[in-house]
Structure 1
């Protein structure tokens, strides 16, 4: 012990020598080591060594620097997992403090990797209270501010990339207040249907399906996605023999995020009426061959998902369309919903 103190005073002590001396002392006299609080003495001697080792350290640029040195000290310092233990206090001084300062000044929430990488690198070496402090004082406030300023349609990096990166470290529950803001922003973005934008809008919304709680997702879909798709179906023009111009396919892309029964109701209310009307007018006016009409019918049917084809609200009008084609081919009257009729 005296030799260590002399080397420390002369500036010749290394961290390795400090660890060897105190580890040997702890092994020889474990009770005395605890009774005389030698872990605290080791911390006082180690602190200036570590401060020198971490001088001009940039935690977010070089996260692993000094990690091995710090972890070797853990055994000779008393560590009960709290920030008040000798080990916790030392780490707070030389690691957590600089990390807090660096992250508060330089870290941008839209670039999660530097901060996330630091926390993942040091996670096992830091007291839990220190990790929570970094999360609560830096990560959560910066994430909240970034989500609040997020513009869904204009930002090149999607929000889910830099928010959901924190699920392993923060957990879903602590992110839920941010998700409320995300839902509000996505809802505002889903106003005004444009077929050319439907694919991008779908890509913007889809990553949140598994992130939101089931009931929150269901509410979001009912409040924002269903009205958005209703606009798309209302804007659709069915003009045989032309097949879908992309508008209907754009709506069907969303079938994976909307419950089949809700999508079937939308199709019943906003699509199949105009689809059957267009088919009847075509059969009456243009008199296509049965093969042409069946091919047109099948082209539309292929755009429907298996889940939708299992819905009665979908299959009834689909089968009715095929029956109209068959009647027209036989020279029989064909009927539009509502009682209108045309003769061949």
Structure 2
């Protein structure tokens, strides 16, 4: 009990002894002293100065001594050790800060110059790198208590902590941050000098950067006097980036930016963007300007709310005015651009109209020239001795050279027809169509580009000729179509109906061949379908193949180049039907049928010709070969074979081969077999050989010696002759 009491007396003076017992009650004084020992300060009985009174130098030095204490520092001793970081920072009161504002700029901290330090403080600075002799002290009231506890556990002065002495040697240093400064404010480093030295020994980077940041953060305005500039900070990564400085734009800058934006966004109308802020408890609408500006101290403070509200209202009104001006400027720019485009269109249209007026004036002069030439020709009876080219050719050439692509737009075809129609009407009254079917075609062909028709192609935007687009509306006849329909066609219709002989197709064929590329399509179709084909159809219906001495192809085939075979398909059917009726009583010895059918070989299709021959001709030829042809080596009659061979150019090769094989070689091989099977004294093999060669020559004259069926049949006969000559039994294959 006595030992315990002595132990407690050594460690804490606040203990009390009553009746041989130790009191463990904690009083308010114990708590205050404990707190003062933790913060390195001791409560003094020094009377605080009232507001406006100055400290004396001794009082100020005494207060600084207490304020700069640290953990484990004895406040009651004049030789107490001060923490190096506490000496480094050396924060003072407001009055002392004012006095230290004129400190030398060479100082990297707020500590005073060595000349102003007391002897005790100089000694403390010298001992900064040496192990502290006060290591292990707990507070000012328990001096040596912690040290004695460590020594009892084996620790010795100057050695590190731990069983092997590898722990720290110097006490844990503390570093006070300036008054009213938060953690990491303005890059303030919380590390002490000991921690920095340890970091350097470990090779960690960043310690020098933190020193520079701390120097700049703690430097006073007078530190950079005399021309010395603060050290440039390295752009190193920080745990917390500094808030960017707010940059405010002037009205001129905003309008200038809106002008640059107008150049890129003239195609789109000016619209105000809406941004909904849902990060807070309430939904609110913000603008781009609000997002670009971060909150400042003025916005976060609650001081002077009326003034701040009025300023914000003024700013919002000014910002709204600027936005309205920007939108108005963009709208005006768009309107200006639209108006410029409209002006450009109007200028272009004006230029086109001026060019068109110039062309119209030139066309008007051409029309006057044509009018004068037509009037002079009518007065001098020039229509009878001159043609269109001689009268108006010089004006027509100007039209072709100047306005070849604008004939229809300028109405030049109307001018041409206006002077052409009287001449055509006058001369067509004396025109004999069948005698001179090509009259007027040369003039029309030469000036056809000036005579517009609905069938003519048109030029597209690239200048290429394309078919004229078909309109749903009823097409109106052009002046040229009207002239040809009312003047030229009337005269041609009269000649076809009253003068033309169907057996003499050449004049009318020449007329249509010449005028076909020049006439409008509907006029050509009218002549063919209403005038020519009906008359030819009546003639074919009246044709009698038995009694008509003139073959039908002589007055039908000339129409093929003009009318083409597809127009005459019905007529061909009628002709085949009439020929088939006649061939029912026909004998192959009558060659007139061959002469009538042969010209149609290239006109009818292959299928039509084969069908007609198989039905009307082949049965007759098969019957004549089967009934009338006999193979007789003594007296051979070839007439039936000749009648059949005459059709070899019309009959297809497979059908002809089948006819020869079935109707000729069957009989021929049978006769040869009988001849070779006679007794040897009755068979003359030389005669057999000559007979064989003679038949080869007969088929060779018809160019059938290369026919497969003919060659195979003669090969069979030759094998039979070889068997008989060798004395072998003859086998009829």
* The two structures share one fold, judged by TM-score above 0.5: yes
Give 1:17's aligned residue: 391
Tell me the TM-score normalized by structure 2.
Answer: 0.40
C-alpha deviation, 1:61, in angstroms: 1.9
Counterpart-to-counterpart distance in 1, 2:670 and 2:405 = 92
Give 1:341's aligned residue: none
Greater RCO between the two (CA within 8 Å, min separation 6)?
A: 1
- Judging changes above 3 Å, is the alpha-carbon distance between structure 1 residues 205 and 287 closer, same or farther for their aligned structure 2 residues? farther
Counterpart-to-counterpart distance in 1, 2:683 and 2:434 = 69
Give 2:684's aligned residue: 289
C-alpha deviation, 1:134, in angstroms: 1.6
Structure 2 residues not aligned, in runs of 5+: 1-367, 457-475
Structure 1 residue 201 corresponds to structure 2 residue 593: yes
- Judging changes above 3 Å, is the alpha-carbon distance between structure 1 residues 128 and 29 closer, same or farther for their aligned structure 2 residues? closer
Aligned residues of 2:540 and 2:571 also touching (Cα < 8 A): yes
Structure 1 residue 46 corresponds to structure 2 residue 420: yes
- Judging changes above 3 Å, is the alpha-carbon distance between structure 1 residues 188 and 32 closer, same or farther for their aligned structure 2 residues? closer
Structure 1 residue 225 corresponds to structure 2 residue 611: no
- Judging changes above 3 Å, is the alpha-carbon distance between structure 1 residues 6 and 207 closer, same or farther for their aligned structure 2 residues? closer
Aligned residues of 1:249 and 1:303 also touching (Cα < 8 A): no
C-alpha deviation, 1:226, in angstroms: 1.9
Aligned residues of 2:396 and 2:447 also touching (Cα < 8 A): no
**DSSP-derived class of the 1:190 partner:** helix
C-alpha deviation, 1:248, in angstroms: 0.5
Select the residue among 283, 304, 311 that pairs with 2:708. Answer: 311
**DSSP-derived class of the 1:164 partner:** helix
**DSSP-derived class of the 2:522 partner:** helix
**DSSP-derived class of the 2:617 partner:** helix
Q: Which moved more, 1:87-96 or 1:271-280?
A: 271-280
Once the two structures are superposed, what CA deviation does each residue of 1:64-100 show, in whole Å capped at 9, x if it has no partner?
Answer: 2232234455454444447932222222333332222
Structure 1 residue 143 corresponds to structure 2 residue 536: yes
Give 2:376's aligned residue: 7
Select the residue among 232, 256, 265 that pairs with 2:658. Answer: 265
Counterpart-to-counterpart distance in 2, 1:270 and 1:302 = 19
Structure 1 residue 67 corresponds to structure 2 residue 464: no
> What do you get for the CA RMSD once the two structures are aligned?
3.7
Once the two structures are superposed, what CA deviation does each residue of 1:136-188 show, in whole Å capped at 9, x if it has no partner?
Answer: 12222233233333334554443333323222222222222222122223323
Once the two structures are superposed, what CA deviation does each residue of 1:214-268 show, in whole Å capped at 9, x if it has no partner?
Answer: 3222322322232132123123233323344332022123223223322232233
**DSSP-derived class of the 1:302 partner:** helix
Select the residue among 603, 607, 615 that pairs with 1:211. Answer: 603
Counterpart-to-counterpart distance in 1, 2:378 and 2:588 = 75
- Judging changes above 3 Å, is the alpha-carbon distance between structure 1 residues 328 and 112 closer, same or farther for their aligned structure 2 residues? farther
Aligned residues of 1:40 and 1:78 also touching (Cα < 8 A): no
Aligned residues of 1:39 and 1:76 also touching (Cα < 8 A): yes
Q: How many residues align?
A: 335
Counterpart-to-counterpart distance in 1, 2:725 and 2:411 = 98
Aligned residues of 2:588 and 2:621 also touching (Cα < 8 A): no
Q: Who wins on radius of gyration, i.e. which is larger?
A: 2
C-alpha deviation, 1:123, in angstroms: 2.5
C-alpha deviation, 1:292, in angstroms: 2.8
Structure 1 residue 57 corresponds to structure 2 residue 452: no
Tell me the TM-score normalized by structure 1.
Answer: 0.79
Select the residue among 169, 186, 191 that pairs with 2:579. Answer: 186
Give 1:342's aligned residue: none
Counterpart-to-counterpart distance in 2, 1:106 and 1:208 = 29
Counterpart-to-counterpart distance in 2, 1:46 and 1:295 = 82
C-alpha deviation, 1:46, in angstroms: 2.5
Give 2:522's aligned residue: 129
C-alpha deviation, 1:310, in angstroms: 3.8
